[in-house]
Amino acid sequence: MDKISVLIIGASGYTGGELLRLLLFHPNIDVKQITSSSYYGKFTFIITTFSANKNYWKHIFWMPGVPVPMKIFLIPIELIGMLVKPMSLMIRLFANITAGHIIILALMSLIFIFETTWVSPVSIGFSLFIGIIEIVVTAIQAYIFTVLSALYFLEWQLKKSIIN
């Protein structure tokens, strides 16, 4: 039987580590690549930056139809805007992934704070519930990231078509 090629995107936290461990040692799986959420924003930045033509860069650095004194103020704003868009995508993904893990950790720590096993069923039950919510949030964040990346690419395409 042929091995199944697998690409893991966003293997983070305990669940991602366990998934990675299981797939790496599975006899019928060949893990080709592993990425994390910080690469998504960088990838979006690389696509928008390096697929641009000279007219796009001319529009970024020397906007047509804008008075010269205003251009001096707009150049740094445009450059900051180019860097902020992918950074906002990375921060959004990181914050949403981390928030669920922190909530689960806080719920589990209640067992040790109260120093009793009577809290265990409630704590574990809520942790499982938050784990399910985390899966839903992951799907929503993947959708939001895709839509925002598409909007950034569309903005680049519109600037490119307006300039030409």
Residues 108-158 pLDDT 10s:
888 888 888 888 898 889 989 988 888 888 788 778 877 877 777 776 666
State mean pLDDT over 92-98.
78
Q: What is the pLDDT of residue 33?
A: 60
Q: Work out how many domains the chain is built from and give that number.
A: 2
Residue for token digits 């690469």? 39
Task: State pTM to two decimals.
Answer: 0.53
Q: What is the pLDDT of residue 58?
A: 76
Residues 90 and 68 in one domain: yes
Residues 5 and 42 in one domain: no
State mean pLDDT over 84-98.
78
- The Cα 126–Cα 15 span in angstroms is 17
Q: What is the pLDDT of residue 36?
A: 59
Q: What is the pLDDT of residue 31?
A: 73
Residues 84 and 17 in one domain: no
Residue for token digits 């902020």? 84
Q: What is the pLDDT of residue 89?
A: 75
Q: What is the pLDDT of residue 28?
A: 83
- 119 DSSP 8-state letter: G
Tell me how far CA of residue 9 lies from CA of 36, 93, 147, in angstroms. 6, 12, 17
Residues 144 and 65 in one domain: yes
- The Cα 11–Cα 36 span in angstroms is 6
Phi, psi of 30 (to 5 degrees): -120, 105
How many CB atoms are located within 10 Å of the residue 90 CB?
19
Q: What is the pLDDT of residue 12?
A: 59
Q: What is the pLDDT of residue 87?
A: 79
Residues 97 and 158 in one domain: yes
Residues 51 and 131 in one domain: yes
**pLDDT above 60 for 37:** no
How many CB atoms are located within 10 Å of the residue 84 CB?
11
Q: What is the pLDDT of residue 13?
A: 59
- Please say whether the beta carbons of 149 and 89 come within 8 A: yes
Q: What is the pLDDT of residue 82?
A: 80
